[in-house]
């Protein structure tokens, strides 16, 4: 791929920082999975462009903790639609490059908004899934928990095999608090320090996504944004790459001599 001189220089500069880094943080959003064929969601997504669902609800209302409490069938209807759109997706070059970097650095942490599990499938090990994932189902009434490959063939809403209560995926629904244990783990890692911080494929609208990048930038830690469209971080970061996630990370991997073709999925 041929790039403009300025973009090539930016890629070279980011690659140079990565060569000297030992601890790297990747903050990722829906855009990193777009090259795996997943839709970019509005809220949870652009899968939903209409103003209201057939039930007359916004998608945020349908996927809220309050709705789940009174009409879990409605919430599950749209959770299953999201899962169906994730089903069969495979990690792309961006996921694989991040996982491959773990072999060469002391620490690579992924702080992701995504619930598609593609970072785990690519082989990344230290992942903070701040919005949870669709593969872990927990009972709302008893300790039952199970891991599922997909949700095909499940009743809506699915029921606990032990007590018959409604199951839910371990995801953060609208109006619910972020998981404190995952936040604490991320904060502890951030306080220990990173040598470079990436924001990849996120619209950067949530404070918990924006603030770590801003804090890193104001502390003199190199910061990188990879996003085809500009966000509020684009003028704050040290390096802005107006590229798709897979293209940008593949280009950086090539400059670093990383072979992504034999990356092992975990």
* pLDDT, tens only, 98-127: 999 999 999 999 999 999 899 999 999 999
Known active-site residue 131: yes
108 and 212 fall within a common domain: yes
pTM: 0.91
Q: Which residues contact 50 (CB under 8 A, 6 or more apart)?
A: none
122 and 249 fall within a common domain: yes
Name residue, tokens 């619209």: 203
pLDDT the model gives residue 175? 95
Query: Residue 157 belongs to a domain with what CATH number?
Result: 3.30.1600.10
As a whole number, mean pLDDT of residues 39-59 equals 66
235 and 184 fall within a common domain: yes
Which structure tokens are listed for 253?
């991997």
- Helix (H) or strand (E) segment spanning residue 7: helix 5-20
Distance CA 231, CA 42 (A): 15
For all residues of the chain together, what is the average pLDDT?
Answer: 91
pLDDT the model gives residue 41? 57
Per DSSP (E only), the strands in 130-209 are 132-139, 145-147, 167-171, 196-200
205 and 183 fall within a common domain: yes
116 and 185 fall within a common domain: yes
Distance CA 38, CA 194 (A): 29
Q: Where are the alpha helices (DSSP H) in 72-179?
A: 72-86, 93-101, 118-122
75 and 195 fall within a common domain: no
pLDDT the model gives residue 54? 85
Q: Which domain holds residue 71?
A: 40-88+132-171
Alpha carbon 101 to its chain's center? 17
Domain membership of residue 242 (yes or no) is yes
Segment 207-258, tens digit of pLDDT:
999 999 999 999 999 999 999 999 999 999 999 999 999 999 999 999 999 9
pLDDT the model gives residue 118? 94
158 and 251 fall within a common domain: no
User: Count of CB atoms within 10 A of residue 255's CB?
Assistant: 16
* Total domains present in the chain: 2
Name residue, tokens 């082989």: 123
Is the pLDDT score of 266 beyond 50?
no
Is the pLDDT score of 149 beyond 90?
no
In the chain, % of residues over pLDDT 90: 75
User: Count of CB atoms within 10 A of residue 141's CB?
Assistant: 12
From 20, 95, 131, 144, active-site residue: 131
pLDDT the model gives residue 42? 46
Kindly indicate the confidence band of residue 82, based on its pLDDT and cuts at 50, 70 and 90.
confident
Question: Which residue, 124, 157, 129, is CA-closest to 141?
Answer: 157
- What sign for the dihedral angle of Cα 240, 232, 198, 191? positive
pLDDT the model gives residue 229? 93
210 and 251 fall within a common domain: yes
Which structure tokens are listed for 55?
């039930």
The more confidently predicted of residues 84 and 100 is 100
Distance CA 124, CA 98 (A): 7
As a whole number, mean pLDDT of residues 139-162 equals 92
Kindly indicate the confidence band of residue 159, based on its pLDDT and cuts at 50, 70 and 90.
very high
């Amino acid at each position: 791929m041929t790039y403009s001189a300025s973009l090539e220089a930016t890629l070279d500069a980011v690659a140079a920082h990565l060569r000297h880094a030992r601890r790297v943080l990747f903050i990722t959003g829906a855009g990193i999975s777009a090259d795996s064929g997943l839709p970019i969601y509005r809220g949870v997504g652009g899968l939903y462009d209409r103003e209201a669902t057939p039930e007359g609800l916004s998608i945020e209302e349908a996927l809220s903790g309050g709705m789940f409490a009174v009409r879990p069938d409605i919430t599950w209807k749209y959770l299953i639609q999201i899962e169906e759109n994730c089903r069969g997706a495979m990690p792309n070059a961006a996921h694989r490059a991040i996982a491959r970097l773990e072999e060469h650095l002391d620490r690579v942490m992924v702080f992701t908004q995504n619930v598609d599990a593609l970072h785990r499938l690519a082989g990344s090990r230290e992942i903070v899934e701040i919005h949870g994932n669709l593969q872990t189902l927990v009972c709302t009434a008893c300790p039952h928990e199970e891991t599922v490959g997909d949700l095909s063939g499940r009743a809506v809403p699915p029921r606990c095999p032990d007590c018959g209560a409604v199951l839910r995926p371990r995801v953060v629904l609208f109006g619910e608090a972020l998981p404190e244990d995952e936040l604490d783990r991320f904060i502890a890692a951030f306080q220990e320090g990173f040598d470079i911080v990436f924001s990849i494929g996120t619209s950067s609208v949530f404070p918990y996504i924006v603030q770590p990048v801003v804090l890193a930038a104001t502390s003199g830690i190199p910061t990188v944004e990879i996003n085809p469209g500009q966000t509020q971080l684009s003028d704050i970061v040290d390096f802005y790459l107006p590229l798709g996630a897979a293209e940008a990370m593949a280009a950086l991997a090539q400059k670093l001599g990383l072979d992504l073709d034999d990356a092992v999925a975990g």
